[in-house]
Amino acid sequence: MIATLILQLFVLCTSTSASVISQKPLVPQASPTWTPDPLPLVIWHGLGDNYKAEGLRSVGDLAQEVNPGTFTYFVRLDSDPSSDRTATFFGNLTLQVAKVCADLAAHPILSTAPAINAIGFSQGGQFLRAYVERCNKPPVANLVTFGSQHNGISQFQKCAATDWVCQGAQGLLRGNTWSQFVQNRLVPAQYFRDPENLDAYLENSNFLADVNNERVFKNETYKQNLVMLEKFVMYLFSEDTTVVPKESSWFSEVNATTGKETKLKDRPIYQEDWLGLKTLDEHNKLEFRLTEGGHMQLSDELLTEVFKQYFTPKAKAN
């Protein structure tokens, strides 16, 4: 009954596709961020969270404490916190990213800033990367992701026994991952990626196959925008059991049967520079960071380090 009601709420969602053009060599350009004032900070939360959550707000308070004057914007897909949480499970990611693009471009403070910094928690990390690739207005200077699923997931997250929204989503996901209905409406399905069934993934994925430029035709705009980053920092949680495989946080691919990991630098996405990750790496702009603990176990000490290292204004840091 619950799953049926939820389905009815999202039956109007539709999918769209991104345009593609051929690749060209790129050289990253510096963003105009040499300013004595801290850039605005945009935060996109993860699955099952909402933009008004107390823990999320405390991150914004800490950013202000470390770099006084920091304006923090929390991405929301609905002004109602409950509906915003529901949107982490249900919705078309193409439309959701487009909405965030429009919201940030129209924001009176963000739209007039020379650039913004961005933090993505869990799935919010790959969604912010999609923002950079697809619109990037205002442009992101430094993108930091924590436990994000940049190379997708091969297992769906477990739900709490009383989390009916999550339970309803899981009921649809099992056995229906590649149907158009599910790909247009179930958020985790749109970044599901099974290395042992890539044909189905490449043919049907509504989101990840596109933003990772894995199809035959590559979107040059994605690469052009991503190499504009001053830093792209990816944190992996050492004891993460929520994200399967956890190495997805570093764009690694893991064989579910053998457990063999193929690291980013050994994959075509890097070697052929489909997204500009190799270009960023060659200019010392790509960082792989490991932090102890389980999924989203973040300390104030770690966040403080991130705010100081990546978000302190250059004019003050030098």
Cis peptide before 138 (omega within 30 of 0): yes
- To the query of whether residue 150 is one of the catalytic residues in this protein, the response is no
Q: Alpha carbon of 99 to those of 78, 91, 110: distances in Å?
A: 10, 12, 15
Main-chain dihedrals φ then ψ at residue 43, nearest 5 degrees? -125, 130
The Cα 113–Cα 195 span in angstroms is 40
Q: Alpha carbon of 98 to those of 17, 93, 114, 129, 210: distances in Å?
A: 12, 8, 21, 13, 14
| Segment holding 265, helix H or strand E | none
Closest Cα to residue 82, out of 51, 54, 58?
Answer: 51
Determine which one of 240, 249, 252, 273 is catalytic. Answer: 240
Instruction: Count CB-CB contacts under 10 A for residue 166.
Output: 21
The Cα 174–Cα 196 span in angstroms is 17
- To the query of whether residue 122 is one of the catalytic residues in this protein, the response is yes
Q: Output the six-digit token pair for 144.
A: 């930091």
- To the query of whether residue 249 is one of the catalytic residues in this protein, the response is no
Determine which one of 122, 148, 248, 252 is catalytic. Answer: 122
Indicate the residue type of 18.
Answer: A
Give catalytic residues, as residue numbers. Answer: 122, 240, 295
